[in-house]
Amino acid sequence: MKREDINYIISILLIFSISITGIVGYVQSRLELRRFVPHRYFAYATLILAVLHVFLNWSKVWRYLRRKFKGQ
């Protein structure tokens, strides 16, 4: 599997995880559940996927930041 394929898979999982976290968080607040474990787990998964996504795309992010700060 290529790195680009992994990047796309992580992006899709990240979108899915953010959506599920939002939906479960909404249900948690509407039903006034104090300790609703699935919301917490999806939030942790979202955080891990976001860090992994930035890690895999760090060279692109770094080039962008260098270009932006170099032009000032």
The Cα angle at residue 25 between residues 50 and 12, in degrees rounded to 5: 35
Predicted structure pTM score: 0.76
Structural tokens at position 59: 């060279």
Q: Is the pLDDT of residue 18 over 90?
A: yes
pLDDT, residue 61, reads 87
Query: Total domain count for the chain?
Result: 1
Helices (H) and strands (E) counted in the chain, each on its own, are: 3, 0
Q: Which residue range(s) make up the domain with 29?
A: 3-70
Q: What is the mean pLDDT of the chain?
A: 89
Report the share of the chain in percent with pLDDT over 90.
Answer: 46
